[in-house]
Amino acid sequence: MAIADTIRSNKSALAFSVAAVIVAVTSGSIFNAMHQAEPIVAGAGVTAQKMLSSFEPSLAGGPGDTPVFEIGSDKAGGTLAVLGGTHPQEIAGMMAAVLLIENVKVTQGKLIVVPQSNRSGFTHTDPMEAYLHSYEVDTPGGKRWFRVGMRLANPVHQWPDPDIFIHYPSREGMVGHETRNLNRNHPGRKDGWLVGRVSYALTQLAKTSTMIFDLHEAQPEYPVINKMVSHENAFEVSATAQSNLQARRIPMGLEKSPKNLHGLSHREFGDHANALSILAESANPAMGRFRGRTSEELVIGGKDVNYVKAAQLGRLFVRFDESGWPLNVRVARHLASIEEVINAYNEINPDKQIIVENFPKYKDVVEKGLGPFLKPPPKV
């Protein structure tokens, strides 16, 4: 090779190496930034903060470990555990949990709130779904930011998926990627893979609770929507709560947890932790197959012309008009459901009540939005 050719070849190799370094540094910093958790500010009612690893030490310091907030009291009563972020792209669940943490006080009994149950799932999004990485909410004290994660745990944290996921202990077979779905792993395994151990820790947490309420969302074309799904052990509470919600003109369906559908919180926490177990779903158009561009307007505003059309064609299981299903309405529905579940439980168990003060009111959350219920962004 002539000397001039060698110099040219070295120059292009150098240019290629520099470009590779730039791409690696840029993508590496985006990848790292996805692991930064959004701030959640403990309100005045929070009496203890710990990590989920206090229920299963093998999670300590790893990607499945996640904050647990206790809002307790000096007076003995029932304990309600609230789980948000079991599926991190179902953002109303986590936001309802955050509003509890930042606002309420308990004067009898205890609330335990886990806002990001599948913490690993908050560190990535589904690349084929074009989800936002995060969104912002205006508060009187400045902007707060929150993540849109993914239903499944991050494959960086648990991989490879088996061809068939065998649920423990039922031995029910499911498609392989469900091995990273927290809400198919319950009651979990102490010596299992990451998501199995997160589930095991949550089952131990459920064993310390009287009731457990798991907050979800689903696409408007999914039949189980604006509904509670209740273990038979919670049916008296959930049916009473449903009629109280109905009386407040917040229509909410109720379904009984099927006995042969395994791995789900409403079935397994009831069977294995003896906690009254309920799951709630709100309607999130940003998750649906009919949606248009997955913009912040869709994620937070919940408006989508395609869904209006789908509703007109009778394809949906909820009403859908120009006002859509904004995030604050979905969060308000979750909060009202929690409130009525507590009221129903208290009616049935007057000797071990859970008394919660400063509960964000449905009407206020719908009319004023989430901002007034969020603390100012913490200074870093």
State the Cα–Cα distance between residues 191 and 194, nearest whole angstrom.
Answer: 9
Residue 148 to residues 120, 213, 362, Cα–Cα distance (Å): 12, 21, 23
Name the minimum Å distance from CB 100 to Zn ion.
18
CB of 233 to Zn ion, least distance (A): 21
Task: Pick the piece of the chain touching Zn ion (CB under 5 A) from 97-105, 132-140, 214-222, 258-266.
Answer: 214-222
Q: Which helix (H) or strand (E) holds 96?
A: helix 91-103
Would you say how long the chain is, in residues? Answer: 380
Strands 276-283 and 227-230: what pairing?
Answer: antiparallel
**With respect to Zn ion, which residue has the nearer C-beta, 144 or 227?**
227
Binding mask 7-36 for Zn ion (x = CB under 5 A): ------------------------------
For the bound state, the minimum distance from the C-beta of residue 105 to Zn ion, rounded and expressed in Å, comes to 29
Residues 361 and 224: their CA atoms lie apart, in Å, by 25
Q: Which stretch binds Zn ion (CB under 5 A): 13-21, 61-69, 212-220, 353-361?
A: 212-220
Binding segment toward Zn ion, per CB under 5 A, in 34-42, 90-98, 241-249, 343-351: 90-98
Question: Is residue 216 within the footprint of Zn ion (CB under 5 A)?
Answer: yes
Residue whose CB is less far from Zn ion, 76 or 175: 175
| Contact stretch for Zn ion (CB under 5 A) within 173-181, 208-216, 293-301, 353-361 | 208-216
Task: Specify the residue, 87 or 197, whose C-beta has the smaller distance to Zn ion.
Answer: 87
CA separation for the pair 83, 215 (Å, rounded): 6
Cβ atoms of 37 and 57 closer than 8 Å: no
CA nearest neighbour of 111 among 364, 334, 373, 339 = 339
If the CB atoms of residues 215 and 342 are measured against Zn ion, the closer one turns out to be 215
DSSP 290-357: T-----HHHHHH---HHHHHHHHTT--SS---TT---HHHHHHHHHHHHHHHHHHHHHH-TTS--EEE
- Which residue lies nearer to Zn ion by CB, 144 or 216? 216
Using CB under 5 A, which of 59, 87, 89, 197 touches Zn ion? 87
Question: Among 165-173, 209-217, 224-232, 251-259, which window interacts with Zn ion (CB under 5 A)?
Answer: 209-217
Q: Residues interacting with Zn ion, by CB under 5 A?
A: 87, 90, 216
